[in-house]
Chain A
């Protein structure tokens, strides 16, 4: 049923509420196409009825590690299976544990305790190896999954940790980001190293041609390179103050990330220099300057030389970058990934969030975005007493699909779990069977865990070969 004449000019929130009403009464699944627009208030809308079945979305909590308060990292390993980090940054002495989806048993298997694997136990009183942040990086040549830890969790005897405050503390200072080489075939840790002292690893990338890992350190926001042959680190220089959350590699071996002011930053191994783009990543010019519009997530198109990305700021922006066109590529603003809101409020990036970018075998880009109907919705608000379902703030995470050819977007599902709000997905990945997985973060409503999305058969078994993503 086409309703575009009726809906044109109506606000996006009203449209979505109306569509849910139609869905309830007519049993038909309606979606709204968002045309790429620079500013949301100028957007027009068009509905489209999708004909295939919605995906099956299944929730896998970290039942074996209920203390885990976040899943910051989720990636496809060199073996085609999906690995997820069960992180614990809110509890003194919390540690990250690595899990993997087991298709035979249809559950998550826990493989590794990062404290034990790297000889850095909480009893040391140091800030703990509490998470893998966006730092899984596979190595298909030798079946190794590299992973590096990040800080933030307090030492066992303190309520909070600040790397500034404890930088010179001989007892509590974080030892440094631990890099682990995990053999996915033999299922054992081959070796570990400290990739840089005192700092955590925000995100990491593997360049298989040069046998290097690249990583961003926190809090000093330096780009580092780790030589896998020599097992040595080198500091390539400081980027800024606000870490980007992603690195990506182009076809020329250049490493891309972003700086505080929203510019892309690129390291070229041929020149051994960091340079900055002349442009700033797309942002909402009504209230933003580009500051803090750093890269949150990035995924390469399976075939074409372009990268899709999303920024880390409330009102996150989707963009597409054709890396081979011109000195700094050709950047396309694909518009805001989430909905309109009151711009006078400093909205938090946990509530207003988009992430989990992943291509499926149907050639489509899938990603997750927050959606809310209550303007006071917060990602971590506890349930009101007596409420059965803990999503009393009408904040939810929506799975969306974007067509690379037409740039049309549609909603394909909603993430739901009994324990609470599921709007924040950190990363998405695809396994060897074509299922999509998303890591979920909600510190207040445990346990955290992973969602598996099984697409309809024709999409799951599509003909697009999705290459292994080499960055976290």
Chain B
């Protein structure tokens, strides 16, 4: 029989604070940036602004792709004398947004069309003038290429850190894209599923058979390079963390986290409290941040100590720029100075900038 709550005044106050405030992000700082140039442009329409994919350019700008009633490419500039998200236009013909990849001079958007998965190419943007003073963003056209493979769905893109190798995964094959034109060349056949990833110059992707294919320009294509650990790798999983290192974290549909290294296999990091894991990013000091759950997601952190499993750090909230709750996120990217970006998978989606808290250090003896 449930009993009515009774506690001392102090206990009740503490519990109330914990319930009300303690549930929101407890480490680091989140800022929700609207998909617009505040005070200058309107936002990308609400039902066209669910952020589907993010990548960071050599300049540290973050490019994103939205899905919904229309797919928009946008450019986020959050350092220097900038502070704006610019809508670079609608990808005509796209029925869904899949992934995005920043080359050196071009931005490649992978979209689904009626004819199959296609690549839309747009020239990358140079640094603007001081955006507190003046601005000019002349339109640049999209070039929507023919489908990578006619009739085949595209699952994602990956690039190497040098940005001279770009790979696309479609339903039945793996393809190399020209880093300037986006033209595709088939590397090999595999029943792909989910986004590919690049670790230390080697590209990996998941197949429907539960194995990872790999491709390296010198070693070639291997349709069955590695077997994934036991787990639920269905429904679009694995989800790879955004990062730049030779190791990368990966999650399965059951929230199991692993750190994968080419020569080290998969290190079990533990399991998140909630599923699914939908976006993750690794900070420069090796910590992993991600979000999990349904409806109202929660963020978690996996520290650098392997023995400690992921722990909850709270629900997304932004108190600056926009006062907003963050409920769902679908993608992440790593910024140039340790900041992380999360793309909000919601109507009137925002670009969320996360600045992780400084890790605690042992006091100097």
Which residues of A does B touch, CB under 8 Å? 92-93, 122-125, 154-168, 198, 219-220, 237-241, 259-260, 265, 273-276, 278, 291
Contacts and interface: CB of A to CB of B under 8 A. Distances in A.
7 contacts: A156-B2, A160-B20, A164-B23, A165-B22, A238-B346, A240-B348, A241-B324
Given A123-B1, A220-B325, 7 more contacts: A220-B327, A237-B47, A241-B325, A265-B46, A273-B69, A274-B47, A276-B45
A157 B19 CA distance: 14
Contact of B2 (A124, A260, A273): A124
B296 A220 contact: yes
Interface of B: 1-5, 7, 12, 15-16, 18-20, 22-24, 42, 45-47, 69, 273-274, 293, 295-296, 298, 315, 323-325, 327, 346-348
Nearest to A121: B2
A155 B19 CA distance: 13
B347 A162 contact: no
A22 to B, nearest CB: 45
Given A159-B12, A219-B325, A291-B323, A125 B2 contact: yes
Contact of B295 (A167, A265, A278): A167
Top-5 shortest CB links A-B = A165-B23, A238-B347, A160-B16, A237-B347, A159-B12
B347 A158 contact: no
Instruction: Pick from B1, B273, B325 the residue with the most CB of A within 10 Å.
Output: B325
Contact of B315 (A157, A161, A164, A260): A164
Contact of B293 (A92, A168, A265, A275): A168
Contacts of A122: 2
A259 B43 CA distance: 13
Given A159-B15, A165-B19, A274 B347 contact: yes
A16 B346 CA distance: 48
B323 A274 contact: no
- B contacts with A: majority SS: loop
Contacts of B295: 167, 198, 220
Contacts of B3: 156-157
Given A92-B4, A159-B16, A273-B47, A164 B24 contact: yes
B46 A237 contact: yes
Contact of A92 (B5, B273, B315): B5
A237 B327 CA distance: 13
Contacts of B23: 162, 164-165
A265 B347 CA distance: 13
A168 B274 contact: yes
A93 B293 contact: no
B174 to A, nearest CB: 36
A154 B7 CA distance: 14
Contacts of A125: 2
A165 B20 CA distance: 7
A389 B299 CA distance: 51
Contact of A162 (B12, B19, B47): B19
Contact of A274 (B16, B46, B315): B46
Contacts of B273: 168
Contacts of A161: 19
Contacts of A260: 323-324
Contact of B19 (A156, A160, A168, A275): A160
A154 to B, nearest CB: 7
Contacts of A156: 2-5
A123 B347 contact: no
Contact of A123 (B2, B16, B24, B42): B2
Nearest to B315: A164
B327 A159 contact: no
A274 B68 CA distance: 12
A70 to B, nearest CB: 19
A162 B273 CA distance: 19
B347 A157 contact: no
Contacts of A220: 295-296, 325, 327
Nearest to B11: A159
A218 to B, nearest CB: 11
A125 B69 CA distance: 41
A240 B274 CA distance: 24
Nearest to A271: B69
A241 B323 contact: yes
A167 B69 CA distance: 29
B267 to A, nearest CB: 27
A293 to B, nearest CB: 13
Contacts of B1: 123
A157 B325 contact: no
Instruction: Pick from B15, B298, B347 the residue with the most CB of A within 10 Å.
Output: B347
A157 B2 contact: yes
Nearest to B69: A273
A275 B48 CA distance: 11
Given A160-B16, A273-B47, A274-B46, A154 B5 contact: yes
B296 A164 contact: yes
Nearest to A238: B347
B250 to A, nearest CB: 23
Contacts of B298: 168
A159 B274 contact: no
B178 to A, nearest CB: 38
Contacts of B18: 165
A366 B46 CA distance: 35
Contacts of A198: 295
Nearest to A154: B5
A457 B298 CA distance: 59
A219 B346 CA distance: 14
A158 B14 CA distance: 12
Instruction: Pick from A162, A163, A260, A276 the residue with the most CB of B within 10 Å.
Output: A162
Contact of B20 (A93, A162, A219): A162
B209 to A, nearest CB: 33
Given A237-B46, A275-B45, A291-B323, A157 B4 contact: yes
Contacts of A163: 296
Contacts of A155: 2, 5
A239 B5 contact: no
